[in-house]
Amino acid sequence: MKEHTKIILLSNITVFVTTLLGVIVSNRIGTSPTLSTYICYVLIGTCLACLLLIYGQQLSQTICNNLLELRQWEGIKKSVPSVLVMERRRDRFLIQKDFSGILDLHFEIKTNLEEPVRDIPFPIYAEKRRSKQSTSPVRLLSLSVDGREESTNDRYYPKEIRHPFAKKKGGTNVMEYGLLMVPVRLQKGAGQCTIDISLKLEGSFPNISKKEFVIIEVPYITKKLEVVLEAEDELAIKRISGSDQTIIATPSNTDFKDQRESFEQNVNWRNIGGRIEWVCKYPKIGYSYIIYFKTESGNVLPV
């Protein structure tokens, strides 16, 4: 609570106490009832004015914060000449018993482009063993644009090996970073399209019984991001016991942890029905969000 708000609340309490004391003293010394009543009304009116001031300040602060967010959003749109906006993005991870995973992506895109765009790149992260660095763990299963099936050949390109801060650099696993080229074929001007992608991440979750994670990168302006982590068969997705934060926000390609963004996003997820669900409006562009989890055996309750 801000200091000036504390002072106002303290003053408010003082006014109440003064009102009671004034009435008691007035009655004791035989002051005219009319004068006593008048004093009581004045003090109560002062108290109500203090209350209005408190709530007025809170309301004005909320309005100012909303206006600031609106100005920031308008600034982003004006500063990017070729705008590609994900109106809705949904990432669904299905963790499998063989330590692999299925990643289903759904994008609803709107554009206002200065030039036609044939393909858009989308980053993919997948963990793999050091001993298999020459083999990519990512396999593109299907790709469709506006319901039209596209070829999966020559669409995914491994770029480099990275060491995520979530693992020790001396460990047995590394992180492959690659780009998936999506054939959107967007024309100049306003347009829209819907994209559905399915990939298999082979052996990318070797420590599911103890501690694992997925990386959600935000390369484009995104209005709404939905992420679901679930497991097959009798496995259930659980949060890491004893961990303060399930979601860690960090600028892409850095080890810097954004404490404030991480804190804000950790109130937006839930662990229910043997899965983790996270919904975020306007995630930070150029950020990576890391979600930690583990799996447990047992009956999975329905959502």
- Residue 30: alpha-carbon gap to chain centroid: 65
Domain-embedded: residue 246: yes
Query: Is the same domain home to 69 and 213?
Result: no
Query: What is the rounded average pLDDT of the residues 167-177?
Result: 68
For residue 185, what pLDDT band results from cuts at 50, 70 and 90? confident
Domain-embedded: residue 17: yes
Question: Which helix (H) or strand (E) element contains residue 17?
Answer: helix 3-28
Contacts of 81 (CB under 8 A, 6+ apart): 114
pLDDT tens for each residue of 117-165:
889 999 999 998 776 667 899 999 999 999 999 999 999 999 988 765 5
Q: Among residues 64, 79, 94, which one ends one of the domains? A: 79
Query: Is the same domain home to 196 and 224?
Result: yes
Domain-embedded: residue 302: no
Domain-embedded: residue 56: yes
| Percent of the chain scoring above 70 in pLDDT | 74
CATH of the domain at 195: 2.60.40
Query: Is the same domain home to 116 and 226?
Result: yes
What's phi and psi for 204, nearest 5 deg? -85, -5
CB 213 within 8 A of CB 269: no
R_g (Cα) of the chain, nearest Å: 28
Planar angle of CA 186, 102, 286, nearest 5 degrees: 50
What's the pLDDT score for residue 82? 55
Query: Is the same domain home to 17 and 146?
Result: no
Query: Is the same domain home to 245 and 180?
Result: yes
Query: Is the same domain home to 103 and 231?
Result: yes
Q: Parallel, antiparallel, or unpaired: how do β-strands 221-222 and 156-162 relate?
A: unpaired
Query: Is the same domain home to 101 and 213?
Result: yes
Domain-embedded: residue 23: yes
Quote the domain boundaries for residue 34.
3-79
Query: Is the same domain home to 31 and 133?
Result: no
Q: Among residues 29, 45, 79, which one ends one of the domains? A: 79
Domain-embedded: residue 303: no
Q: Inform me whether the pLDDT recorded for 240 exceeds 70.
A: yes
Query: Is the same domain home to 116 and 262?
Result: yes
What's the pLDDT score for residue 79? 47
For residue 53, what pLDDT band results from cuts at 50, 70 and 90? confident
Query: Is the same domain home to 13 and 126?
Result: no
Q: Which residue has the higher pLDDT, 79 or 41?
A: 41
Q: Among residues 37, 57, 79, which one ends one of the domains? A: 79
Query: Is the same domain home to 99 and 16?
Result: no
Query: What is the rounded average pLDDT of the residues 183-188?
Result: 87
Number of domains forming the structure of the chain: 2
Q: Inform me whether the pLDDT recorded for 80 exceeds 60.
A: no
Query: Is the same domain home to 110 and 39?
Result: no
Query: What is the rounded average pLDDT of the residues 20-30?
Result: 58
Q: Inform me whether the pLDDT recorded for 301 exceeds 60.
A: no
Q: What is the DSSP letter of 226?
A: E
CA 238 to CA 276: how far, in whole Å? 7
For residue 61, what pLDDT band results from cuts at 50, 70 and 90? confident
